[in-house]
Amino acid sequence: MSPTFYWRLPGADDARNRAFDALAAGNAPRLPAANDLRHGRYGSFDHVVQVARAAELVAFDGLVASDDPEGDAALIVLGALAREVRRLKLVATFSPGAGSAVYAAKKAVSFQRYSGNRFGWALESSDDAARRRRLGDFVGSGDLGARLEDFVTVARGVIESAHFSHDGPFFSVLEGGFQGPLSGRPFPELTLAGDGAEAIERSARLADVHAFTLGEALSERIALLREAALRAGRSPQVALRARIVSHDDGARARLEAERAGLAHAPDLLVGSYDELAARIVALHRQGVDRFELSSPRSLDEVYRVGEHLLPRVRQLLGRKAA
């Protein structure tokens, strides 16, 4: 199976987003988005829309919106983008501690209705207890895994059953479930993450996709997931999260990475298009099914990757399959 490619949307830490917000201060966004390029009327959301449209144009498979405590809610961003891009899968990252599992499930099936079942969840809670408390989440670090499982149990129960009851340690529901126009929608594709044994075992039982971050011992981590999934009788996909800086000249790409402060980042893919194509094919042969890519210059890089790198990857894979 050929790998799929998702682009992680720029968030509050993106310098261009901050600049566009400052330039467009006081001007309400207009929909459809990115329709007024005049100075002071093009804001950060217009920039995100252009990145999303670019990703669809150059044949990416999906978009991921991060859970950014200083930025916009991932679900709201993707809800607006769902009418701007008509083919891409849309994955919202959020914490199971953000609220009711039943209400999260209702938002998910509503999103599925209006997007043609293109919606996915990436469930993650910050490892930083202080950050969680700032968001109103006071569950201890040792209980995050159990809460995630309880969240998934309730959300899946009310989506897949019209009469579901559950009394768990973190979430409860009595005779819950969706009927009428909300019934019959698929549970959102579920992405979980983590390098530890507990996280890997959990994904083997629950996840459709398990995301690793590019770094050391990737083959060993993938093997642990495959072994745990085999015991559970399942086969979740493996996603790899990485930042990328590409160029037709490898030296220029490395210089741009250095200027961005990423020269020594362990999660960085950097090099010429040919170098990176060979690296991605090698990672795919190690077991990576999906690549979730991001860049400090999101709009420029999504075009570069889509126009120059992905065709090289597909050509190499076609040659190997022949």
- CA separation for the pair 190, 121 (Å, rounded): 5
Taking the CA atoms of 297, 288, 108 and 153 in sequence, report the sign of the dihedral they define: negative
Which residue did the predictor score with more confidence, 174 or 16? 174
Residue 24 tokens read as 């467009």
Tally of CB atoms within 10 A around 172: 14
Which residues have C-beta within 8 Å of that of residue 32, sequence separation ≥ 6?
83, 84
Average pLDDT, the chain: 91
- CA separation for the pair 100, 123 (Å, rounded): 14
8 Å CB contact between 10 and 243: no
Return the axis-axis angle of helices 101-115 and 74-81, rounded to nearest 10°. 10
- CA separation for the pair 218, 266 (Å, rounded): 12
Q: Identify the pLDDT of residue 71.
A: 84
Q: Identify the pLDDT of residue 37.
A: 54
**Residue 172 DSSP code:** E
pLDDT band at 26 (very low <50, low <70, confident <90, very high): low
Burial of 174 (0-12, 13-18, 19+ CB in 10 A): exposed
Q: Identify the pLDDT of residue 11.
A: 79
pLDDT band at 154 (very low <50, low <70, confident <90, very high): very high
Q: Identify the pLDDT of residue 14.
A: 59
pTM comes to: 0.91
Reply yes or no on whether the pLDDT at 111 is more than 70.
yes
SS (H, E, C) 95-146: CHHHCCHHHHHHHHHHHHHHHCCCEEEEECCCCCHHHHHHCCCCCCHHHHHH
Domains of the chain with bracketed CATH = 4-21+42-319 (3.20.20.30)
- CA separation for the pair 147, 149 (Å, rounded): 5
Q: Tell me the percentage of the chain whose pLDDT exceeds 70.
A: 89
Cis peptide before 10 (omega within 30 of 0): no
Enumerate the β-bridge partners of residue 193.
Answer: 211
Q: Identify the pLDDT of residue 70.
A: 82
pLDDT band at 41 (very low <50, low <70, confident <90, very high): low
Which residues have C-beta within 8 Å of that of residue 124, sequence separation ≥ 6?
67, 93, 94, 95, 192, 193
Reply yes or no on whether the pLDDT at 61 is more than 50.
yes
CB-facing half-sphere around the CA of 111: CA atoms within 13 A: 27
Enumerate the β-bridge partners of residue 237.
Answer: 209
Tally of CB atoms within 10 A around 104: 22
Q: Identify the pLDDT of residue 45.
A: 86
Of the given ranges (21-35, 71-85, 119-133, 202-216), which has the lowest mean pLDDT? 21-35
Reply yes or no on whether the pLDDT at 199 is more than 60.
yes
Reply yes or no on whether the pLDDT at 96 is more than 60.
yes
Reply yes or no on whether the pLDDT at 67 is more than 80.
yes
Over residues 99-103, the mean pLDDT reads 96
Burial of 142 (0-12, 13-18, 19+ CB in 10 A): exposed
For 232-259, write each residue's pLDDT tens digit: 999 999 999 999 999 999 999 999 999 9
Rounded to a whole number of angstroms, the CA Rg of the chain reads: 20
Which residue did the predictor score with more confidence, 135 or 102? 102
Over residues 99-114, the mean pLDDT reads 97
pLDDT band at 322 (very low <50, low <70, confident <90, very high): very low
Three-class SS of residue 236?
Answer: coil
